[in-house]
Structure 1
Amino acid sequence: MRNRLPSADPLLRLQASITARDDQLLGWLYDHGVLTTDQIATALFPSLDFAQRRLRRLTVLRAVDRFRPNKADGGSYPYHYVLDQLGYDHVHAQRGLGAPRRDQARRRKQSLTRRPDLPHLLGGNQVFIDLAAHARIHLNNHLDRWQPAAAFHDPGVFYREGGNPEMMVHGPTGLPRPDGAGVWTEHGRSVPFFIEYDTGLERLDILTEKIAKYERVYAMSTWAWPVLFHLPSARRETNLHHRLAEARPRAVIATTTAGLRTALGASPAEQVWQLIGRSAGRHRLIDLPYTDPHHDDEYDNAPYSDHEDARSHQQLDL
């Protein structure tokens, strides 16, 4: 009787078949929790069919798992993909994080499937997915960074040398908790930004309170990124601008709407952002003002102040 060869280690089998695109997807699921089939296909694949075939393969390899929430009025939503345990093993190995908990995938899947604000999480992720999709078909456009909300929950995360040390003790209640942050690059020039994704279910007061927290960051720090509010409707946008007309926030706050983007077929990179407290007109993401010498050094940007300083930009009639 022949000696049977030992079966291949599942993680080694996964790593032997992984592609660079798979690596990116697994990293996104690790950082951002959940993405739908359509989101994954839009951002990373040439077609939905191609994406579905690859996702089935990754599911068989136990890199990803999936669930399908039921709709209140019957039927179900598309598949929602999360990391399976081998996916966690792979990402931890790639990032040098040490072994994950043995039940990490199960616990996170349970958390996501029970999450009452899952549409909000998916909506915020969609803004970045749309940027990634735009970059995939536009030469010299890149989504260079996509940070999750969790990256901004620790006290002191907004503090930088030269800022007010009180930022270290304000914690998450006194400073903002963005839904995400990113860096968008076009033809060698990049802009950092925060995202606030609004479903329209919160009172406008909640949005103005969020803006007040960004104002606090602006006043206490040496840097300022544009804060992008993605709103559901033109009416919601008009009401927010009207609410803040007299306040004229010093922080750079820009808005767009799902309705406008759908009507124009426009990605978040395009001319869809209206600055609060400025004259009418919309701007491309890459043209929004910011102040951040650290960012300019990291991305080899010409400082924004070389062509128009963000902190004086508020005084200009755009």
Structure 2
Amino acid sequence: MRSRSLPAPDALLRLQASITARDDRLLGWLYDHGVLTTDQIAAALFPSLDFAQRRLRRLTVLRAVDRFRPNKPDGGSYPYHYVLDQLGYEHVHAQRGLGPPRRDQARRRKQSLTSRPDLPHLLGGNQVFIDLAAHARTHPDASLVRWQPASAYHDPGVFYREGGNPQIMVHGPTGLPRPDGAGVWTERGRSVPFFLEYDTGGERLDILTEKIAKYERLYAMSTWAWPVLFHLPSARREANLHHRLADVPGLETVIATTTADLRTALGASPADQVWQLTGRSAGRHRLIDLPYTDTRHDDEFPTHPAPSPDRRAA
């Protein structure tokens, strides 16, 4: 009987022959973001939960993905959580032109994720991007064109742009922000880059304001500025944060907030009119309408005017 750790020589070729473009996107997400649940995968990529479950079973048999089910504190278990299996790592490394992965890469990553105390925080942050992808799946004029994990911003040097303060290259990781993720959202010919801070409500408000102070430091040292999205659990938490920030003089960073409660009540996507800007006009804004400054982004994602009603009808 062949060992699970020693796949047949043609196993990777068999997997690659079976992979679809949708599978490629899923495997890339799992490589970058660690873990996604069945429901998240179905919402973002598939027309139905049943379709997603059938495809995930197939990818599991092919050893592209593996899965686990954490136990609930009050009994029972959560839905399946999917991670990359070893062949999934080999496939992604081949697709991205990387060297071969460690032979135990999948085992080590799965062990790390299953024992991770902040797994709900990771899944919650991933959920915001999943909700954007799910919105884009049913709105042809919209797209989540970039989704970067927190690890992409652990090196302070990543924030440096030509013309900025060179000290940003050596500024310690405690002095600059470490967002929970970042992305680029496009809609009707426009696009907006953003950072995400996902808040479960378990930290003191002081921790959130300290994070904002780090974004202020980045703003002062750089030549570009993205809006920072704070996804909060409740209206009370949001109101308390806005009240706290009202006392911060000269806040320059664009801070936009929404809450899980509000989105649930409205059945709203993060793309919808759910973002409240701090220290600015009342009301809420769509993600695509949030202000930013970044000429490099503008060059990469130039604005294309939406077609007029007459042109759409033509």
TM-score of the two chains, using structure 2 as the length reference = 0.93
1:156 — aligned with what? 157
Q: Distance between the aligned counterparts of 2:156 and 2:188, measured in 1?
A: 35
What is the identity, as a one-letter code, of the residue corresponding to 2:290?
A: L
2:252 — aligned with what? 250
Q: Secondary structure at the match of 2:280?
A: coil
1:278 — aligned with what? 280
| Structure 1: runs of 5 or more not aligned | 1-6, 303-318
Q: Distance between the aligned counterparts of 1:249 and 1:112, measured in 2?
A: 37
Measured after TM superposition, the shift of residue 8 of structure 1 is 6.4
Q: Distance between the aligned counterparts of 1:213 and 1:300, measured in 2?
A: 29
Deviation track 1:227-254 (CA, whole Å, cap 9, x = no partner) reads 0000000000000000011215210000
Q: Which moved more, 1:43-52 or 1:8-17?
A: 8-17
Q: Secondary structure at the match of 1:215?
A: helix
1:291 — aligned with what? 293
1:217 — aligned with what? 218
TM-align CA RMSD: 0.9
Measured after TM superposition, the shift of residue 140 of structure 1 is 1.2
Q: Distance between the aligned counterparts of 1:181 and 1:155, measured in 2?
A: 15
Q: Which moved more, 1:274-283 or 1:74-83?
A: 274-283
Deviation track 1:232-279 (CA, whole Å, cap 9, x = no partner) reads 000000000000112152100000000000000000000000001113
Asked if 2 retains the 8 angstrom alpha-carbon contact of 1:88 and 1:100, the reply is yes
Aligned residues: 296
Q: Distance between the aligned counterparts of 1:189 and 1:169, measured in 2?
A: 34
Deviation track 1:106-139 (CA, whole Å, cap 9, x = no partner) reads 0000000000000000000000000000000012
Q: Do structure 1's residue 112 and structure 2's residue 113 form an aligned pair?
A: yes
| Structure 2: runs of 5 or more not aligned | 1-7, 305-314
Q: Give percent identity, aligned residues only.
A: 87
1:266 — aligned with what? 268
What is the identity, as a one-letter code, of the residue corresponding to 1:44?
A: L
TM-score of the two chains, using structure 1 as the length reference = 0.92
Q: Distance between the aligned counterparts of 1:206 and 1:88, measured in 2?
A: 35
Measured after TM superposition, the shift of residue 171 of structure 1 is 2.7
1:16 — aligned with what? 17
- The residue correspondences of 1:16-95 to structure 2 (distance < 5 A) are 16-95=17-96
Asked if 2 retains the 8 angstrom alpha-carbon contact of 1:156 and 1:171, the reply is no
Q: Distance between the aligned counterparts of 1:249 and 1:285, measured in 2?
A: 20
Q: Distance between the aligned counterparts of 2:143 and 2:130, measured in 1?
A: 12
1:139 — aligned with what? 140
Q: Secondary structure at the match of 1:261?
A: helix
